[in-house]
Structure 1
Amino acid sequence: RDPDNAYFCEGVQDEILTRLARVAELKVISRTSTQHFKSAPDNLPQIAKQLGVMNILEGSVQKANDQVRVNVQLINALTDAHLWADTYDRKLTDIFAVESEIAKTIAETLQARLSGSEKQMMAAAPTTDTEAYELYLKGRFFWNKRTGADLKHAIEYFTQAIAKDPSYALAYAGLADSYTLLSVFSAASPQDSIPQARAAARKALELDNTLAEAHASFGRILSGYDYDFERAIAEFERAIQLNPNYATSYHWISNGPLTARGEFDRAIAEGKRAVELDPLSMIDNADLGQIYFYAGRYDEAISQVGKAIEIDPHSYLAHFYLGQIYQLQGHLTEAIGEYQKAVDLDDDPQALAFLGQAQARAGQHDEAQKILARMTEEAKSRYVSAYSFALMSIALGDKEQAIDALERAHREGAANDIITIRVDPMLDDLRGQPRFEALAEKIVPAREFKAGTASK
Structure 2
Amino acid sequence: MRASEKVMLDKFNRIIESNFHNADFGIDEICQELGTSRSQLYRHVKEQTQLSTSLYIRQRKLIKAQELLGSSEMKTAEIAYFLGIDSPQNFSKYFTQEFGITPTAYRKQILERKSTIEEKVETGIPDPVLISVPERHNFKPYPVKYFYIAIAFILCLVAVVYFWKPLFDKTQNISELPVFSGNSIAIMPFKNLGSPETAYFCDGIMEQIHGSLSLIHKLKVISTTSSDKYKNSPKLVQQIAKELDVNYILEGSVFQARNKIRIKVELVRVSDDRSVWTKNYDGDTKGIFKYLTTVSKEVAKELDQKLSEATMEKLGKLPTINPAAYNEYLKGCQLIVSRKKNELEESIVKLNKAIKLDPEFAAAYASRGHAYYLLGESEYIDEVKSLKMTEQNSLTAIRLDAENGLAYANLANIYRNQFKWQQAKTAYEIALKYSPNDAQINYWYSLLLRSSGAMKEAIRYSSKAVELDPLHHVIFGGNVLNQIYGGELDQAKKNMDEGLVLFGESWIYNWVFGYYYIVKEDYKQALKYYVITNRINPGIKSIQYQTVFCQARDGQIDKVHSYLNQLPELPENYVSRSVIYAGLGDKEQSLFYLRKGADAGIIPSDLKVSLFFITLRDEPQYKAVLKKFGL
- CA-CA distance at 1:101 after TM superposition: 3.0
Out of 148, 158, 161, the residue aligned to residue 350 of structure 2 is 161
DSSP-derived class of the 1:296 partner: coil
- CA-CA distance at 1:57 after TM superposition: 0.6
Out of 105, 121, 124, the residue aligned to residue 317 of structure 2 is 124
- Whether 1:19 and 2:234 are equivalent positions in the alignment is no
DSSP-derived class of the 1:90 partner: strand
Aligned partners of 1:16, 1:438: CA distance in 2, in Å?
49
Letter in 2 for 1:209: A
DSSP-derived class of the 2:348 partner: helix
User: Any stretches of 5+ residues in structure 2 without a counterpart?
Assistant: 1-191
- Whether 1:362 and 2:362 are equivalent positions in the alignment is no
Letter in 1 for 2:463: K
Aligned partners of 2:328, 2:233: CA distance in 1, in Å?
26
- Whether 1:202 and 2:395 are equivalent positions in the alignment is yes
- Whether 1:429 and 2:621 are equivalent positions in the alignment is no
Out of 505, 517, 522, the residue aligned to residue 326 of structure 1 is 517
How much is the aligned-residue C-alpha RMSD, in angstroms? 3.0
Equivalent residues of 1:44, 1:77 under 8 A apart: yes
Aligned partners of 2:349, 2:522: CA distance in 1, in Å?
47
Amino-acid identity (%) = 27
Out of 137, 150, 159, the residue aligned to residue 334 of structure 2 is 137
Alignment of 1:40-439 (within 5 A): 43-92=236-285, 94-127=287-320, 128=322, 129=325, 130-139=327-336, 141-143=337-339, 150=340, 152-153=341-342, 155-166=344-355, 167=359, 168-177=361-370, 180=373, 193-229=386-422, 231-256=423-448, 258-305=449-496, 310-346=501-537, 347-372=539-564, 375-376=567-568, 384=572, 386-414=574-602, 417-418=604-605, 420-439=606-625
Aligned to 2:180: none
- CA-CA distance at 1:22 after TM superposition: 0.8
Equivalent residues of 1:356, 1:368 under 8 A apart: yes
Distance 1:111 1:187, change over 3 A: same
Distance 1:215 1:284, change over 3 A: same
Distance 1:263 1:66, change over 3 A: same
Moved more, 289-298 or 32-41: 32-41
DSSP-derived class of the 1:35 partner: helix
Out of 203, 219, 224, the residue aligned to residue 10 of structure 1 is 203
Aligned partners of 2:369, 2:592: CA distance in 1, in Å?
30
Distance 1:40 1:187, change over 3 A: closer
Task: Give me the TM-score of the superposition, normalised by structure 1.
Answer: 0.83
Distance 1:110 1:299, change over 3 A: closer
Aligned to 1:454: none
- CA-CA distance at 1:73 after TM superposition: 0.7
Distance 1:289 1:157, change over 3 A: farther
User: Any stretches of 5+ residues in structure 1 without a counterpart?
Assistant: 144-149, 446-456
Letter in 2 for 1:328: V
Aligned partners of 1:199, 1:413: CA distance in 2, in Å?
24
Distance 1:307 1:368, change over 3 A: farther
Moved more, 49-58 or 368-377: 368-377
DSSP-derived class of the 2:271 partner: coil
Moved more, 405-414 or 160-169: 405-414
Letter in 1 for 2:238: P
DSSP-derived class of the 1:155 partner: helix
Letter in 1 for 2:401: D
Distance 1:410 1:206, change over 3 A: farther
Aligned partners of 1:407, 1:316: CA distance in 2, in Å?
31
Aligned partners of 2:405, 2:447: CA distance in 1, in Å?
18
DSSP-derived class of the 1:57 partner: strand
- CA-CA distance at 1:392 after TM superposition: 2.3
Equivalent residues of 1:158, 1:172 under 8 A apart: no
Aligned partners of 2:379, 2:215: CA distance in 1, in Å?
34
Equivalent residues of 2:574, 2:593 under 8 A apart: yes
Equivalent residues of 1:204, 1:214 under 8 A apart: yes
Q: Provide Cα deviations, 1:148-173, integer angstroms capped at 9, x if missing partner.
A: xx4x4563244223311234444444
Distance 1:157 1:322, change over 3 A: farther
Aligned partners of 1:367, 1:182: CA distance in 2, in Å?
35
Aligned partners of 2:575, 2:258: CA distance in 1, in Å?
53
Distance 1:237 1:366, change over 3 A: same
Q: Provide Cα deviations, 1:89-131, integer angstroms capped at 9, x if missing partner.
A: 2224544443233223322333432223322322233354212
Aligned to 1:146: none
Distance 1:204 1:158, change over 3 A: farther
Letter in 1 for 2:557: H
Q: Provide Cα deviations, 1:275-317, integer angstroms capped at 9, x if missing partner.
A: 1111111121111111112112233223435566644444323
Aligned to 2:627: 441
Aligned to 2:221: 28
Equivalent residues of 1:33, 1:279 under 8 A apart: yes
DSSP-derived class of the 1:165 partner: helix
RCO higher in 1 or 2 (8 Å CA, sep ≥ 6)? 1
- CA-CA distance at 1:204 after TM superposition: 3.1
